[in-house]
């Protein structure tokens, strides 16, 4: 945490990246099985996410890559723990939303969108079909917030590639949030392929915190945003 605090206080972007790189090496490369407690892990990701508010492209992209790396079981074995997975997903959506909201440069935005495209489908399936952790409602809320951010920024982006990535993700979400059947997705916390299609029928009628009618309305609003962009 001392290195992270130094990075927060530094006014030099290159120094921030260097300090964060050292943190990443400690977390993922030198001691990947630290056996960090849940509070310690939460403190770590909570301290990393604010760097996504940096307007410096190098810092923003490094933070996104850092979070993407700790989502990988091969690099972060703890990600197979439900609470660790939920905390990391929450950090991922919060960081990506920040990058999109502050418009931290085209390459940062494209990076955030690629990360979202990679992890949104598996998160949707997990939350709908098998929520395992008390943090999952917060993950779902932040995922929905991220979708709303993409709906808004779709009309602001001037970079053609960013627009295409945003459209791709929103189209995918609109499809998942309908009764249409889509393809198979892999849960990043597991090694096996999940065979279930991701659609509204995946949501159990007695789901603790996801309502089918609300998700269906969100699908319609996404479609309307896509139509308005044409």
Can you give the pTM of this predicted structure? Answer: 0.88
Please check whether residue 100 is in contact with residue 149, taking contact to mean a CB–CB distance below 8 angstroms.
yes
Query: According to the model, what pLDDT value does residue 4 have?
Result: 87
200-218 core/surface letters (b: 16 or more CB in 10 A; e: else)? bebbeeeeeebebeebeeb
Low pLDDT (below 70) residues in the chain? 30-36, 181-197
Structure tokens belonging to residue 116: 């979202």
User: pLDDT tens digit string along 4-25?
Assistant: 888 878 888 899 999 999 998 8
3-class DSSP state of 185 = strand
Name 84's Cβ contacts closer than 8 Å, sequence gap at least 6.
38, 41, 76, 78
| Domain chopping of the chain, boundaries | 2-229
* pLDDT value of position 191: 45
- Which whole-number Å values give the CA distances from 196 to 52, 132, 174, in the listed order? 33, 17, 17
User: How big is the chain, counted in residues?
Assistant: 230
Instruction: Please give the CATH architecture assigned to the domain spanning 2-229.
Output: Alpha Horseshoe (1.25)
Q: Contact 16/59 with Cβ under 8 angstroms?
A: yes
pLDDT for position 26: 85
Phi, psi of 191 (to 5 degrees): -95, -15
């Amino acid at each position: 945490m001392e290195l992270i605090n130094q990075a927060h206080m530094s006014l030099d972007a290159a120094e921030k990246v260097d300090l964060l790189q050292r943190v990443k090496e400690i977390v993922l490369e030198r001691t990947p099985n630290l056996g960090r407690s849940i509070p310690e892990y939460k403190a770590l990701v909570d301290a990393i996410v604010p760097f996504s508010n940096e307007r410096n492209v190098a810092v923003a992209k490094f933070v996104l890559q850092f979070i993407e790396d700790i989502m990988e079981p091969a690099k972060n074995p703890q990600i197979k723990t439900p609470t660790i997975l939920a905390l990391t997903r929450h950090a991922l959506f919060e960081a990506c939303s920040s990058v999109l909201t502050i418009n931290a440069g085209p390459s940062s935005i494209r990076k955030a969108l690629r990360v979202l495209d990679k992890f949104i489908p598996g998160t949707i399936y997990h939350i709908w079909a098998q929520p395992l952790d008390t943090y999952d409602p917060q993950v779902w809320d932040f995922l929905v917030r991220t979708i709303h951010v993409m709906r808004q920024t779709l009309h602001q982006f001037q970079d053609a590639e960013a627009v295409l990535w945003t459209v791709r993700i929103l189209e995918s979400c609109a499809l998942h949030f309908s009764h249409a059947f889509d393809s198979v997705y892999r849960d990043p916390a597991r090694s096996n392929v999940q065979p279930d299609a991701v659609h509204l029928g995946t949501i159990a009628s007695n789901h603790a915190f996801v309502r089918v009618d609300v998700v269906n309305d969100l699908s319609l609003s996404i479609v309307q945003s896509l139509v308005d962009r044409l």
